[in-house]
Amino acid sequence: MPSFKYVAVNDHGQEVTGILESSSIDKASESLESQNLMPLHIEDNSDSKTKSASNVNVPITKKKRKKVTDRDVIDFTRQLVTLLKAGVPILSSLETLSGQAENPAWSEVLIEVASDIAAGNDFSESLGKHPKVFSELYVATVKAGEVGGVLDEVLGRIALMMQRDIDIRKSVKGAMRYPIMVVSMMVIAFLVLTAFVVPRFAGIFEQIGMDLPLPTMILIGLANFLKKFWWLLIIVLGGGITAFTMYTNTDKGEYWWDGFILKVPVFGNLVLKTAITRFTKMFETLSRSGLPILQIFVITT
């Protein structure tokens, strides 16, 4: 079986070298990753053909193209911190990480960032060309790290902050999952009752000829309306949702909706505490990175 020389980085940022037997460079890379080692350079030890991870990109089977997620950014940030602490140049680090990315869309972003850096742009400036992937907060924090010469430390704080943000959002979604489920079941039960149950009782009441209370008459009238004009209800709901979305996308509409959410019993208090927690974590990260307070408020608002 062929043997391969490798240079890798462990979880502590220390460079590790060695020789391992494997059927191919792909398998060798997978073997190193299973040992929590990030391969930087792999070459065939059985002949003179040298294959660098930065040139060959340590190929990994590409999966179906998908959207870049926060998890991609967090993993990239942590891996970049490890490589920078190990003394690997940022350009080589980006080339290595782009080759190891399983998401083709994410790999393309890293390749473009590396190309911009090779063309003479700053790291933060190159990241800023991808606002859908790297937020303004991320770019501003990286720029502060570049200016202060503590890029690896700043990137570590960003990864920690983003992980905390994800954990907070998961907690909020978990807390709201049950109430949303209950409300949804109530709406479904009401529609089923109105569409199928009430019409049958309405026929019985009509045959008996008894006087019905006002709430029951309203319910029967609603059932008859839905039975005849259900298509109109769909149009009204669709138009209402579209108008609501367009309005809340404006500054005035967004301000009104945020204020309304904060006034909702129980949920409003939860949203407020969540927003305060996220703001304080972001403020701490940016402040420790050396950004001025005024600029921090501009970025976080």
Return the closest-CA partner of residue 26 out of 47, 65, 56, 68: 56
Under 8 Å between Cβ of 9 and 86: yes
Average pLDDT score over residue span 267-286: 80
pLDDT value at 285 more than 80 = no
**What's the pLDDT score for residue 59?**
40
Least reliable range by pLDDT among 134-143, 189-198, 224-233, 281-290: 281-290
Q: 């073997």: which residue's tokens?
A: 31
Q: Specify the pLDDT at position 54.
A: 39
The residues that bridge with 39 in the sheet, in sequence order, are: 8
Strand, helix or coil for residue 11: coil
Range 183-207 average pLDDT: 82
Compute the distance between CA of residue 119 and CA of residue 127 in angstroms, rounded to an integer.
Answer: 14
Q: For residues 106 and 72, is the Cβ–Cβ distance under 8 A?
A: yes
Q: Which residue, 118, 121, 11, 109, is CA-closest to 68?
A: 109
Residue pLDDT, tens place only, 76-108 = 998 888 888 888 888 888 888 888 888 888 888
109 within 8 A of 130, measured Cβ to Cβ: yes
The confidence score (pLDDT) of residue 49 equals: 40
Residue 64 has pLDDT above 90, yes or no: no
pLDDT score of 107 = 86
14 pLDDT band, cuts 50/70/90, is: low
